[in-house]
Structure 1
Amino acid sequence: MEKLYYENAYERNFVANIIEVIEEDHQFHIRLDRTYFYPEGGGQPSDVGYIESSPIIYVYEKEDLIYHVTERKPSKFKKVQCEIDWQVRFDYMQQHLGQHILSASFVELFDATTIGFHLSKEYSTIDIDKVIDSDGFKKVEDLANETIANNLTVETLFPTEQELRKLPLRKQVSEKVQGPIRLVKIGDFDLVACCGTHPKSTLEVQLIKIIKVEKYKVGMRIEFLCGKRAIGDYSKKQESLKEVARLLGVNEQDVPARVHHMSSDINDLHSSVRALRSEVICHTVEKMLRDAETIDGIKVIKEVYQNIDLKYVNNIATQLTAYPNVIALFGIEADDKAHLLFAQSKELKLLSMNVLLKDAITLIDGKGGGSDFSAQGGGKNNNNLDSSIAYAYSKVRASIL
């Protein structure tokens, strides 16, 4: 089989003969006598396109033979028209050469080696073996885009073993690799073994933009976009920035300062809300203690709340039971669920809140637990919430008396 994608990565249409069709799992694996379709390999996804009117959804290489996968059985075998999806092919070419440029830039500036590469339909990543700060990433991105603008020629070489040993490769070729070694050379900037497809010039990559970095193993993972992807990402973000500026009523360049000011205002408001909530809880606790039923010197407080924050109720229970001789039995109904929260003062030993809650929570088909002094849990049956509180109250009353 002639693998023509190495001879001309820009060919979009060609004619070939079908020489074999293998049916597997309702799909048809077609082998041609010649192909420009690139099979998945070297971190690059396969081409897609058409053979006659049949969509080619995947291309792979097995035992030096290339198979084109379709869901339609071919009816024509001689001089079939083949078409490569150029938008997909050129996108992968841009991303792949962009990865070479980016990886070489990391080596040039920080001697950071690329130890992993992933190219998908939406994004690309490389993994490097060193940790670099944000200023370093900016320098790498600048060098990569300067290299693109320099319009360096991209060449393919097939050196002999003797020639290969003398070449200044960015990354040494594994001894496990058999057969001719294909090298991709970017001017005097980079030289590395690769089996993918690439543009003829760095200028065709158009743009490289690093969009996300994170620590990964001993080094870092870098997510980046090239070419049309990077330009599209910029356009979306520019539109978002315009909309944010419009909503804030400021110019685009003033958005960061405005957001920072709003964030400061929000933090101040949160502090005020917390202070007011604390004050409200104090007044609520004082009123509950004044109005509480007293049974043999113990204040028993029971309450069922509707759609209220569980943390808020928890704070009330905590402050109530900070006083001596207090038992709090609370129910909370929210979002079609029921919650129970039982608590008592530390010096009380009459009844374990954990045991009481596990007994009462069965009425709401729930689960929960805690300690002798505090327990909580939730269930699905909020129709029996009042009954659960009433049952717990009767057990407390019986224990006191």
Structure 2
Amino acid sequence: MLMPTVKIYHKNPYIKEFHANITKIDQKPGKDVHIKLNQTAFYPEGGGQPCDLGFIGDFRVKRVFEEDGDVFHVIEGIPKQFENLPCVIDWKRRFDFMQQHLGQHILSASLEKLFEAETVGFHLTEDNLTIDIDKQLDSSDLDRIEYFANQIIYGNLYVKTHCPSNQSELASFPLRKDVAGYSNPRIVEIDQFDYSPCGGTHPKRTGEVGIIKILNCSTHREGLRIEFVCGNRALKDYAEKTSVLSSLKSELSCSEKDLPTRCAGMKNDLKEITSKSKRTSERLLDYQIDEMYGNSRIHNGHRLVSHVFETDNLKDASVLTSKVLKRDPSAILILACPGIDFTTVLLASSTSENPLDLNLVLKDLLDKYNGRGGGKAHHAQGIIGGEVPPDQLLHVLQSKITLELEKSKNK
């Protein structure tokens, strides 16, 4: 019977390099090979903490997982050497997870002590760190928690581990969370501040977490999801935000403390400019409608308003349509809006005054020029390739509508 893997990462989470012997090889379909070592410093995925990566010999470790007490390392290929294999873990990744994981312990304990808020979820990845709690808190509460948690870091408290040998010993620890689901509970203690069952890797003193910074929070079920960063992640986040602030200060020619006021002023200016632009656009549309009416013609009691409408925003065409039909409910509007690669064609009329089915009129045009679109009897829209001149499309539509109006008159 093979001896279980000796878990060096629990004895000393600071070991970066070690030697080990291969005790089991499991060849999987494809290139993946699962190997078991007699001892390992590679932490397997579990307990919310991602696994370590690195090298075993010349082979990159893609994944590490635990199964029935044994730790398996996923590599591509079978090493030629089975004994005294050099192994190296990705220390930058490992220490990052150590900082984030202990930071989570500190933050969760702070939440419980200050607000009796229980941590009910923990999510740690290479790019993200969140906890879910069972209570709603406001921004001032979170500021208080963040300050309190960082005082625990600055206190540089010792982090110890305990492996109770029996229930009586286990019961002597004032645990923050239940040990249900842990077959052999390993208790992580932050110097009488917090006791929590955990199988992960952590620094030996709280000072190594560096700092905890809460970034964001959102409602999650009955409580909150809190996003935060610790240590080197917080330093990176600070550097990125400082760079953004420096750029903004340079662009807006103001100090950091004046940025909110300057941005609020710009927002108000933009709102005013947008409002003026909208009023100007509406006046311009009125002028265009006057021009369109001057060029329109009456046929069988209906004003045929036809126009090539240059616009980057089809909402303007919709506004124009409403204005035309409000001015003359008997009007039938025919618009061609040229774009870069295609022309948008729009037909519209009043629902009470027009006897024609504009959707059928448009369908004839689309069939003729391989376009696509559709609509209803009193409003239809389609697109046709830009190689067809807009004036030609208007001419075809006017002729079709004139013919249909003649037909409806003679019925």
Q: Give the TM interval when normalised to the shorter protein.
A: over 0.9
Take 2:191 and 2:389, find their aligned partners in 1: how far apart are those partners?
76
- 3-state DSSP class of the match of 2:183? coil
Corresponding residue to 1:348 among 345, 353, 357 = 353
Take 1:267 and 1:337, find their aligned partners in 2: how far apart are those partners?
32
Take 2:193 and 2:40, find their aligned partners in 1: how far apart are those partners?
31
1:321 equivalent in structure 2: 325
- Residue 91 (str. 1) matches residue 96 (str. 2): yes
Cα 1:236/1:139, change in 2 over 3 Å: same
| TM-score (normalised: structure 1) | 0.93
1:136 equivalent in structure 2: 141
Corresponding residue to 1:243 among 243, 247, 254 = 247
Give, in angstroms, the shift of residue 118 of structure 1.
Answer: 1.2
Aligned amino acid, residue 157 of structure 1: H
Take 1:136 and 1:358, find their aligned partners in 2: how far apart are those partners?
63
Structure 1, unmatched stretches of 5+, are none
- Residue 212 (str. 1) matches residue 216 (str. 2): yes
1:364 and 1:383 in contact (8 A); partners too = no
1:44 and 1:92 in contact (8 A); partners too = yes
Cα 1:178/1:196, change in 2 over 3 Å: closer
Corresponding residue to 1:167 among 168, 173, 183 = 173
Take 1:392 and 1:110, find their aligned partners in 2: how far apart are those partners?
72
1:179 equivalent in structure 2: 183
- 3-state DSSP class of the match of 2:52? coil
- 3-state DSSP class of the match of 1:383? coil
Give, in angstroms, the shift of residue 142 of structure 1.
Answer: 1.5
Take 2:370 and 2:133, find their aligned partners in 1: how far apart are those partners?
52
Take 2:199 and 2:19, find their aligned partners in 1: how far apart are those partners?
24
Give, in angstroms, the shift of residue 389 of structure 1.
Answer: 3.8
Counterparts of 1:2-401 in structure 2, within 5 Å, are 2-24=6-28, 25-159=30-164, 160-174=166-180, 177=181, 179-306=183-310, 308-322=312-326, 323-363=328-368, 365-378=370-383, 381-384=385-388, 386=390, 388-401=393-406
2:409 equivalent in structure 1: none
- 3-state DSSP class of the match of 2:238? helix
Take 2:162 and 2:184, find their aligned partners in 1: how far apart are those partners?
10
Take 2:368 and 2:248, find their aligned partners in 1: how far apart are those partners?
50
User: Between Structure 1 and Structure 2, how many residues are aligned?
Assistant: 398
Take 2:361 and 2:138, find their aligned partners in 1: how far apart are those partners?
55
Cα 1:16/1:200, change in 2 over 3 Å: same
Give, in angstroms, the shift of residue 157 of structure 1.
Answer: 1.5
- The sequence identity of aligned pairs, in percent, is 37
Cα 1:356/1:103, change in 2 over 3 Å: farther
Any idea what the Cα deviations from partners look like across 1:243-281, whole Å, max 9, x if unmatched? 110111112222221111111111111111111111111
Take 2:306 and 2:68, find their aligned partners in 1: how far apart are those partners?
76
2:218 and 2:225 in contact (8 A); partners too = yes
Give, in angstroms, the shift of residue 307 of structure 1.
Answer: 5.2
Take 2:369 and 2:224, find their aligned partners in 1: how far apart are those partners?
50
- 3-state DSSP class of the match of 1:245? helix
Structure 2, unmatched stretches of 5+, are 407-411
Take 1:98 and 1:196, find their aligned partners in 2: how far apart are those partners?
12
- 3-state DSSP class of the match of 2:387? helix
Cα 1:261/1:158, change in 2 over 3 Å: same
2:362 and 2:380 in contact (8 A); partners too = yes
Take 2:380 and 2:302, find their aligned partners in 1: how far apart are those partners?
19
CA-based RMSD:
1.9
2:292 and 2:306 in contact (8 A); partners too = no
Could you list the structure 1 runs, at least 4 aligned residues long, displaced by more than 6 angstroms after superposition: none
Take 1:309 and 1:46, find their aligned partners in 2: how far apart are those partners?
51
Aligned amino acid, residue 172 of structure 1: D
- 3-state DSSP class of the match of 2:276? helix
Moved more, 320-329 or 349-358: 349-358
- 3-state DSSP class of the match of 1:342? strand
- 3-state DSSP class of the match of 1:398? helix
Aligned amino acid, residue 303 of structure 1: H
Give, in angstroms, the shift of residue 365 of structure 1.
Answer: 4.2
- 3-state DSSP class of the match of 1:354? helix
Take 2:314 and 2:251, find their aligned partners in 1: how far apart are those partners?
34
Moved more, 282-291 or 43-52: 282-291
1:117 and 1:125 in contact (8 A); partners too = yes
- 3-state DSSP class of the match of 1:321? helix
Take 1:193 and 1:385, find their aligned partners in 2: how far apart are those partners?
75
Give, in angstroms, the shift of residue 338 of structure 1.
Answer: 3.3
Take 1:355 and 1:107, find their aligned partners in 2: how far apart are those partners?
69
